[in-house]
Amino acid sequence: MLTAREAIDRERLCLERQIKRLARENAQSRAFMTVPGVGPMTAMAYLSGIDDPARFVRSRTVGAYLGLTPRRHASGEVDWSGRISKCGDTMLRTYLFEAANVVLTRTKQTCSLKAWGMAIAARSGGKKAQVAVARKLATILHRMWCDGTQFKWITA
C-alpha cells in the first residue's frame, strides 16, 4: 500500500509540474494568473472549460454556464430563488470557488473585488460571498480573454 501511494504521489507531482509548465508557456494563462487567487490549475481549467470565449455574447453569462447562478423555481404564485444550479463543469466551478476563497481570506493587497466580496460576506454570509466572487471571477476572466488585458488592481 505504501509503495502504491508513493507511486501515485510521484505521478501527481509530475502532472502538477507539467500543468505549471504549460501554464507558463501559454500567454493567456499567464494573463489569467495576474488575477488574485488564480493559479496555474485554475487558469488551465478555465482555458479548457470555456474553450472559445466567442461562444458567449456577454461575459456575465459565463457564471450561468458554470452553474454559479441561483436556481429559480416559478410555478403559479410561487417564485423563489434557491441554491446554485450546479450545471456545467464541476471541476472549473470548484477551482473558481477555491480562488474566491483565496481572494476573500488570504489576499493581503486590497482590491475592489475583495472589498465587494467582503461587503457581501458581512451582509449575507461567507459561502454566498464565495459563490458571488467565484461568479465575478468567471466574468472577469472571460472579459480579460476577450479584450486581451491583464487584471487591474484597483483599490477600493
For residue 105, the one-letter residue type is: T
* pTM of the full structure: 0.86
∠ CA(125), CA(126), CA(132), 5° rounding? 95
Across 134-138, average pLDDT: 94
Contact yes or no for 118/68 (Cβ under 8 A): no
Across 31-49, average pLDDT: 94
Q: What is the pLDDT of residues 120-133, one digit of tens each?
A: 999 999 999 999 99
The rounded percent of the chain whose pLDDT value lies above 90 is: 70
Length in residues, the chain: 156
Q: Which band of pLDDT confidence, cut at 50, 70 and 90, is reported for residue 78?
A: low
∠ CA(74), CA(81), CA(126), 5° rounding? 175
C-beta atoms surrounding 11 within 10 Å: 10
The rounded percent of the chain whose pLDDT value lies above 70 is: 94
Is the pLDDT at 107 greater than 90, yes or no?
Answer: no
